[in-house]
A and B are shown apart, each in its own frame.
Chain A
C-alpha cells in the first residue's frame, strides 16, 4: 500500500487509520494494529515538526508491505535530512519533553533505520507480524 500526503498535521489521523485498517486486513492482532498506527503517527509528526519544521504543503510518502511474516513500513520525506536517532538521548527522561516518538519506534518496532537521501530522508521500520494469521 502506498499513501502520499502533504505535511499538514490534520492529515496524520487519516493515515494512522488507514495503516491500522491495513494491519487488520493482513491479520495482525488489535494491539499490533494500534502499535503500528502509533509508530506511523509518531514518524509523521517527526517529519512535519523536524524535517519540515512545521512548513505545510510538503510531500510525505508512506509505504506498507508484508512479506515472509514481516511488516515493513517506509516513510520518505524531502526535508532537512536530519537523523532523529542521532539527537536522541540514550536514556529517556519521562519528564523531559521531546523524543517520545522515537522511543515508541524503538520499543514497538523490531528494526528502525534512517537512510539519508540526497534530498531528504527514508525511514524504514519493520516488525515481525504478531497476528491472528498474518498473510503475505
Chain B
C-alpha cells in the first residue's frame, strides 16, 4: 500500500509551480563542458531588504530541499524545510534579515532541471539534462544575487549539500559575503557518501519505470526505486541511538509478529512512509543529478589538493558547525574545513553540537544549535555594522 501513490499528477503539476522565477539569459558554462542559457531559477524571499542592502542572507538548500525555507510550502502544504531556523522571531529572524533561497539547478521545484519541459519537443528533458556540479549550482544562484542587485550578502548559510554550496560560494566569490556558515557538511564527498548515493541511484535506475530517464514520455514514474533510494538515505540521516530510542523493536499496529514481509516493525512502516511521501514531491531524475553533483564535490581537488587555497582570497568570517551523532558528515570532516581555514589565518569559529538526532539535527528542533546559530548571527551582524566593514 505504501507504493500505490500515483505521483505522476503531482510531478506534472510541479512543472507549473507558482513560484518566483527569473530567466537567466547569460550563458553559464558548466563543469561538464556544456553551456546553458535562458534557463529558469525559482526562488523565494522572506523579509525586507533594507535600504543599505546590508541584511541579505542567502540560504542554500540540501539534496531534497527547495526554495521554501520557511512559512508554508505550497507544494507539500507543510512547514518550510528550515522553519525552526528561519522566520519571524526565529534564529534567522525575517523581521530583521532578508532571506533568499533558490531551488538548485538540477532540482524539480521550478529551476532548470531534468523535469523542465523542452520547448521544442514539448517533453521533459529527462537524462538529456547535462551533468551539473555544486560549482554550477552556485554560479547559477549568483546570477540571482546579481538580479536582486545585492552587492554583498551579509551571510551565506546552509547545511549538508547547502554547506558545500556555502564553501563553493566563498571560493568562487571571495568578496560577496561577510559571513559564511557551513553546517554538517564536507569539503570533499567521502567514499561512504558516494556509496550511499550510488545505492540510491541504482534503486531508481533498476525500477523498470525509469525508462532510461524518459519516464515522463510514457506517463510513468519510477516511484518504487525513488522510494527505496529515499528510505536508504533516510537511515543515514538518523543515528543508531536515535533510531533505537524512537523505534526500538516496537511493532506497528499489531501485538505479535505476522511471519511475513509486511511492515511488522514501526521502523519499517516509518521508512515506507518516508519513501511514499517523498515520491509525491520529488523527481527521480533530479535525485540522480543532485546526488551526482554531491559525489563530484571535492573542493580541495579544485584547488590543487590544498583546501586552504580555496579561501586564500577571502576575508569572509566563517562559522563551522557539526553534530556529535552525524555519521554522514562527521565532525572530523567539518574540522578539516576549520583546519584549512586556520592554516591561512582566516577568521573561523567552530563548535560541535551535542545531539543524538544524527545528520538531520540541523533541520530539527535542536535548541542548543538554534540558539548558538541565532545568537551568533545576530551578534555578528551588530559587530559588523558597528565596524562598518
* A pairs with B: no
User: Which residues from chain A sit less than 8 Å from chain B, CB to CB?
Assistant: none
